[in-house]
Each structure stands twice: as C-alpha cells, then as structure tokens.
Amino acid sequence: MLLFDNLSRPGGANNIDWLKSAHGGMVQFERGDVRDSSALRQAAGRASQVFHFAAQVAVTTSLESPMHDFEINGRGTLNLLEALRALDNPPPLVFASTDKVYGRLGDVKLLAKESRYEPVDGELCWNGFDEHRAIDFHSPYGCSKGAAEQYVLDYSRTFGLRTVVFRMSSIYGPHQFGTEDQGWVAHFLIRAIQGQPITIFGDGKQVRDVLYVDDAVDAYLLARARIGALGGHAFNLGGGLRNTVSLLELLARFTELGFAFPQVQFAPWRPGDQRYYVSDASKFQRLTGWRPKTSVAEGLRHLQRWVLGGSVGPIVPEIPPEIEKVPA
C-alpha cells in the first residue's frame, strides 16, 4: 500500500507512524502533493487501485483563500485523473466527495424542535436525501469538491476510466485529529476531554447522519470490488436515519461517557451551512448489500478509548486524572 500525502493536516504524521508500526513493510509512504503533477504521475504508475482522499477540507479555509482551495480540490483531482488516463491500464478510482455538493438546502422546510431540526416533508423524515436531489454548489469548498466529482464522473463517461464517487456525510472514529473546521465529532470529544469550550456555528440544532470509519472503509472496499457494476456513478454515503444526531444532542451524549456537558459558545452561521442533512444510501445498499453496523453510542466509545489511550499526542494536553479513570 502506497500512501501519497503532503502531511499538511495536524496528526497526519502520527497516523503514518501508526500504520507503519501496525503493518510494517506492507505500508510505503511518499511525501507528495496532488498539485505536483509530475510526482503524482509517478505514484499513480505504481498503483493497482486508487482511493482519493486528498483535499482541502474546510469551508472556512475556502472562504479565506478560494484559489488555494481550488488548486488542491479541483486541479489536484484533475492532475490525478490525467495521470491515470495516461496509463496503458488505468487502475480504478474511488473518490471521496461531500454532501456539500447539495448546497445549503435552504428550500427544505424545517421544524425547530427543542434539540434538533426536522423536515416538514414526511418522506425526508423517513428516508433522507437521495441522489435525485439536485446538486447546488455553495461556498468555494462546495464548488471545488463539486467540480472535482463531476470531473471524476465524466472521465468515466468520456475516457472510460473506472471511477466511483461517494458523497460523504460526517465520518468519525479513532485516528481522526478533528478540528473546529473538519472532523467535528472527534473535535467535540477531544475538547470535552480537555475541559475546553466548544464553538458551535449556528444554534446547534443542525442534524447530520454520522458514519463510523470502519463502516466507511467497508463501503470503499465494496465499491472497489464491484467497480464494474458501479463505475461512473455517484452514491450518497452516511450513517442514515438510525445514526442521526444534532450538535447539541452529541454534546448531551458525552454525559454517557462520564464527563459533563461542555461549555458552549455560539458563533454566526457560516455560508452554505446545512440545518438538516441525512443521507439516503439505499442506492448503494441495493447494489452491494452494504449497511452501517456501528451505532453512535458504540462509535463514540471506540473514539473515547483511542483519545484516552494517549494516541492523540500533543494535540490533546495531559488528561485530568479523574477523566482517565472513566471506564470506556
């Protein structure tokens, strides 16, 4: 397995070290950047299959520097596609897109309940959003990821590459060094363990379907194994209705893990913020039999054990003794 990464994200080097210690010589690492088309071509030429996760991942960063965001997400993806197209036998590609390609979803009528928003439309309440929902790029991040996924899909149609796109909802789990801008489930838990305040953009009632990382990995491996049947298609991928949680509800769950409801400070909504998004992944489920297996409660316990095990390193300061003793 070849990992091609520029290590720009905090915690990336920690995860490389962990993978090498866990898998030894099966893991090779090359420090590189998707904006470097020459290095990317060389790496792609050594691959039998490609999982494309490299990205600028924060809406806030895209607002500060749209060009930087596009160079990584848009041009970087096109660099990869061109590198694959140049090969005599291009390997299959599975690409991580985002639910942000659906935009703010401002036309969806919602009820504001005590701790969450819920759609007025009963079908959305029971099923969530499927791939028939029109894409509507919002924010530079939404535009760059949306453009990237459309290139990935078109290179299947126009050039015959074997590609699959996943429009991802909120992924979480061990080895996620969450920040305020991305990886919010891990970020909230780490901040709570630190005893630090948490900033919520909006009112905290916004709802997401969260997907545990092991279930996401299962989906990616299935997509690769069945690329012949799935190629050229985009699929929603998330935890679904059984794994929905609002930001406020997630914080309330922390009491089940043994520590208090964190101090919360609120900030204005950000451009493109969705008040309600739940994936309808039935299209992918119907074609592969995949279903998420890990509940929110179980997934949070796994994440807590990893954080308390000290694996987060310098990003999490010394954990208070009373927290360390909480059973996971």
pLDDT tens, position by position, 140-176: 999 999 999 999 999 999 999 999 999 999 999 999 9
Q: How many residues does the chain have?
A: 328
**Which is more confident, 233 or 313?**
233
Compute the chain's Rg from CA coordinates.
Answer: 20
Across 102-106, 255-259, 311-315, the highest mean pLDDT is recorded for 102-106
57 CB contacts (<8 Å, ≥6 apart)? 9, 141, 181, 182
Burial 42-72 (b: 16+ CB within 10 A, else e): ebbeebeebbbebbbbbbebbeeeeeebbbb
Tokens of 59: 């809406």
Mean pLDDT over residues 2-15, rounded?
93
Helix segments in the chain, DSSP class H: 12-23, 37-44, 59-64, 66-70, 76-85, 122-127, 139-159, 184-194, 213-225, 227-230, 247-253, 282-288, 296-308, 321-324
Mean pLDDT over residues 219-240, rounded?
97
Mean pLDDT over residues 25-43, rounded?
96
Q: Given the DSSP bridges, would you call strands 233-237 and 163-168 parallel, antiparallel or unpaired?
A: parallel
Whether the predicted pLDDT of 323 surpasses 50: no
Position 311 scores a pLDDT of 55
Mean pLDDT over residues 90-96, rounded?
98
Whether the predicted pLDDT of 268 surpasses 60: yes
DSSP one-letter string for 178-239: --SSS-HHHHHHHHHHHT--EEEES-S--EEEEEEHHHHHHHHHHHHHTHHHHTTEEEEES-
Position 316 scores a pLDDT of 44
Q: Which of 24-28, 37-41, 118-122, 315-319 has the lowest mean pLDDT?
A: 315-319
Question: Residues 274, 264, 196, 299: is their CA dihedral positive or negative?
Answer: negative
Position 314 scores a pLDDT of 42
Position 60 scores a pLDDT of 86
Query: Residue 262: which pLDDT band, with cuts at 50, 70 and 90?
Result: confident
Whether the predicted pLDDT of 318 surpasses 90: no
Please identify which residue in the block is written with the tokens 């997630």.
Answer: 250
Is 141 known to be catalytic? yes
Q: What percent of the chain has pLDDT over 90?
A: 85
**Which is more confident, 314 or 294?**
294
Mean pLDDT over residues 223-244, rounded?
97
Residue 24 CB-half CA count within 13 A: 1
Question: Which of the residues 102, 117, 141, 155 is marked catalytic?
Answer: 141
For residue 60, report the phi and psi dihedrals to the nearest 5 degrees: -60, -45
Position 315 scores a pLDDT of 44
Q: What is the dihedral of CA 226, 227, 229, 232, to 10 degrees?
A: 150
User: pLDDT tens across 119-128, in order?
Assistant: 999 999 999 9
Q: Which of 155-169, 294-308, 314-328 has the lowest mean pLDDT?
A: 314-328
- CA–CA separation, 123 vs 132, rounded Å? 13
Question: Residues 266, 271, 276, 278: is their CA dihedral positive or negative?
Answer: negative
Domains with residue ranges and CATH for the chain: 33-320 (3.40.50.720)
Position 310 scores a pLDDT of 66
Q: What percent of the chain has pLDDT over 70?
A: 94
